Amino acid sequence: MNPKIFKPNSKLADFVKCYWTLESSLKNTPTRNTIVPDGTMKLIFHYGDLYWHHPKNGKSFLQPRCFLIGQLTKPYVVEPKGETGTFVIRFNPNGFSPFTDIPVKEMENKPIAVKKIFGKKGEKLEQEIINAKNTHERINIAETFLLELLKSKEVKDRIINSTIETITKYKGQISVNELSKHVSLNRRILARKFSSNVGLSPKQLSKIVRLQATLKSLSQNDKTKLTDLTYENEYFDQSHFIKDFKEFTGITPKEFYGEDLKMSLIFDS
């Protein structure tokens, strides 16, 4: 497996975090992959074979060929049906809301077909990206589509942008009360703004950002002592750390090595 990451056009940098591609034969792809919440929504286009989704409590199903995956608040398990060829538009935490009239909170943990979100324009986008010759062409198609949607829209929310930057700066190790003081806004109003722009609460995003920082530490330093990870990432205690870890990965830190760890970080940039 060889994922590749590409930066967006400067005009889209406030909205798109990166473009991401993966191509792999079935024999080189793990049987099941655990995608861990990372605080971003993604438009996913499979120009290769489709993927199964295996819900923890529910019947497995084939995902659409082209779809949006909303904010994740729990582990999302997928399995390749055949050879992988995937192009992903990964948005900033509040980057997708300007492109849709559907409340982003309603998209949580769901794969939603592109054509359901964008109608006939979405169907055209699907065909163009699937039939494109290479990644460069797919990025050009995607950016033309997104820039056209942004015309005549007032999309920036400075309070949300500032709060997300603060959460990222502190790697999620900051309380909602501190965030509220930072932007001089009542925490309830801040929570409502987050729900409509990000699809998560400030607390949820902070927990996810902190977990992703922990996973990065695991991958880079190969640490096995839970106490090291607990205090390095400022969890209250080890039980608090394990609780948050299981909430977003479905398993304990000690179990979360090998392919699970690699796939959880595959969207990192």
Question: What are 8-67's pLDDT values in tens digits?
Answer: 999 999 999 999 999 887 666 667 888 899 999 999 999 999 999 999 888 999 999 999
Residues 103 and 164 in one domain: no
Region 168-179: mean pLDDT is 92
11-15, 45-49, 102-106, 220-224: range with lowest mean pLDDT:
220-224
Query: Which has the minimum average pLDDT: 4-8, 110-114, 176-180, 259-263?
Result: 259-263
Phi-psi group of 39: left, alpha or beta (phi > 0 → left; psi -120 to 50 → alpha; rest → beta): left
- Indicate whether 50 belongs to any domain: yes
Beta bridge partners of 19: 6, 89
Q: What is the pLDDT of residue 67?
A: 97
Residues 199 and 134 in one domain: no
Question: Do 209 and 164 contact (CB within 8 A), yes or no?
Answer: no
pLDDT (0 to 100) of residue 259: 56
CA distance 1 to 29: 7
- Here the tokens at position 79 are 């399995």
- Residue from 117, 108, 105 nearest 37 by CA: 108
| Cβ pair 12, 77 in contact under 8 A | no
- Residue 254, domain extent: 158-264
Confidence check: pLDDT of 118 > 60: yes
Q: Is the pLDDT of residue 258 over 60?
A: no
Question: What pLDDT, on a 0 to 100 scale, did the predictor assign at position 1?
Answer: 60
Q: pLDDT band for position 222 (50/70/90)?
A: low
Residue 28 within a domain = yes
The mean pLDDT value for 116-130 works out to 96
- 269 is a domain residue: no
CB 230 within 8 A of CB 241: yes
Q: Read off the pLDDT of each residue in 144-162 and give the average, rounded to a whole number.
A: 83
Instruction: Assign 20 to helix, strand or coil.
Output: strand
Same domain, 63 and 142: yes
- The reply to whether 171 and 125 lie within a common domain is no
Residue 38: per-residue pLDDT: 94
- Higher-pLDDT residue of 175 and 33 is 175
- Domain boundary (125, 150, 175) is at 150
Most confident of 15-24, 71-80, 123-132: 123-132
State which H helix or E strand residue 88 sits in.
strand 84-91
Mean pLDDT of the chain: 87
Q: Is 97 in the same domain as 51? A: yes
pLDDT class for 266, splitting at 50, 70, 90? low
Q: Is the pLDDT confidence value at 143 over 60?
A: yes
Kindly state whether residues 46 and 30 are assigned to the same domain: yes
Please report which helix (H) or strand (E) contains residue 89, including its range.
strand 84-91
Q: Is residue 42 part of a domain?
A: yes
pLDDT at site 262: 53
Are 163 and 140 in the same domain? no
Which of 106, 126, 150 delimits the end of a domain? 150
124, 150, 176 - which closes a domain: 150
Number of separate domains in the chain: 2
* Ordered alpha helix ranges (H), the chain: 114-131, 135-150, 158-169, 176-183, 187-197, 202-221, 226-232, 238-249, 259-264
pLDDT band at 154 (very low <50, low <70, confident <90, very high): low
Tell whether pTM > 0.75.
yes
